Amino acid sequence: MPRTEIDLNPVDFITIDTIGPKGKRVFYLQAGKDGQLVSFVIEKEQAWALGEAIKELVDDLDERFNEKTEVDISQMDMNLREPIEPLFRISQMGLGFDEERQMVVLVAQELVIRNRPEEEVEPGVVRMWCTREQMRALAEQALETVKAGRADPKQNGRLVYYWT
């Protein structure tokens, strides 16, 4: 049995954002339901990959159901909520769709570091059930948050030489 198993079904909100200055930002995924708040630490690359995967999934669902899922994230509160106390660092995430309920599930699995190879520790799991609109907003927020880090993402902390 996992150390932690939580079902937020459905979430009231879900977001990705950062804390810290550019180059030293910490990425967080956060969701809440009925006053229960869960926060996770994620990697920048995970935020980008999640944004891309959600975008692709929602686009596929829109095509399948012949609907357009549109959101205006400028009208939504995509900020992290206090207190930001990470439950765990995420190692893996997965997406699924429940057609009967028309809900997307985001499953987050805890990164487990074993002190001894023979040690068996079950990672924590949190399932966050969301509407397609919430997922579209999360994808846009994730991709914008990743882009906001550096003026030129190709630099990624390296010195780049230009000549003409």
Q: What is the pLDDT of residue 114?
A: 77
Q: What is the pLDDT of residue 137?
A: 97
Q: Are 125 and 109 in contact (CB under 8 A)?
A: yes
> Comparing 115 with 69, which gets the higher pLDDT?
69
Decide if 161 is inside a domain: no
Q: What is the pLDDT of residues 2-48, one digit of tens each?
A: 578 999 999 999 999 999 988 899 999 999 999 999 999 999 999 99
Decide if 12 is inside a domain: yes
What confidence tier does 82 reach under pLDDT thresholds 50, 70, 90?
A: very high
> Comparing 124 with 1, which gets the higher pLDDT?
124
Decide if 155 is inside a domain: no
Q: What is the domain extent for residue 86?
A: 5-147
The whole-angstrom separation of Cα 30 and Cα 17 is 8
The whole-angstrom separation of Cα 153 and Cα 139 is 18
Q: What is the pLDDT of residue 115?
A: 77
CATH of the domain at 135: 3.30.2450
Decide if 156 is inside a domain: no
Q: What is the pLDDT of residues 85-136, one digit of tens each?
A: 999 999 999 999 999 999 999 999 999 987 777 778 889 999 999 999 999 9
Q: How many CA atoms lie within 13 Å of 9's alpha carbon, on the beta-carbon side?
A: 10
Place of tokens 């699924």: 96
What is the arithmetic mean of pLDDT over 67-94? 95
Q: How many domains does the chain have?
A: 1
Decide if 158 is inside a domain: no
What confidence tier does 49 reach under pLDDT thresholds 50, 70, 90?
A: very high
Which two structure tokens, joined as six digits, stand for 85? 């106390």
What confidence tier does 72 reach under pLDDT thresholds 50, 70, 90?
A: very high
What confidence tier does 161 reach under pLDDT thresholds 50, 70, 90?
A: very low
Q: What is the pLDDT of residue 99?
A: 94
Q: What is the pLDDT of residue 151?
A: 58
